Amino acid sequence: MSKIKPASPHAKKLRRVLKERGITCWLEHWDEHKHVDMCLPDAKLYIEVDGPEHYLNAKQIIADIKRDRYSEKEGFDTFRVNNEMIDGHLEELADAIEVVARERAKN
């Protein structure tokens, strides 16, 4: 098992607004293969809060694709959000994630 890293300020900020909406959300969840930034267990959804390196570094993109494929095999989908979206659109982002989480939890 790998070492747990502390949650990023952006992940903490997003978790706070999701919790305010009543969404169960865990930070730095270990899925027996890797840590994910956030886990919404009822929705079977992982949220990865990513900085620019996840969009600009080819090796990181390839690693992320492999990580996401593993999650899919385990029945979880991954939603990736960049830090700029959290900084500029936190409430709208949380509103959208809330709708998705509630819809997925029903199924």
CA proximity to 79, closest of 18, 5, 3: 18
**Residue from 85, 96, 101 nearest 38 by CA:** 101
Q: With beta carbons less than 8 A apart as the criterion, state whether 14 and 95 touch.
A: no
> Identity (one letter) of the amino acid at 103?
E
DSSP classification of residue 11: H
pLDDT band at 4 (very low <50, low <70, confident <90, very high): low
Nearest to 16 by CA among 29, 25, 7: 25
51-92 confidence digits (pLDDT tens): 888 888 999 999 999 988 888 888 999 999 999 999 999 999
pTM above 0.85?
A: yes
Confidence of residue 1 (pLDDT cuts 50, 70, 90): very low
The third-level CATH classification (topology) of the domain covering 14-106 is Endonuclease; Chain A (3.40.960)
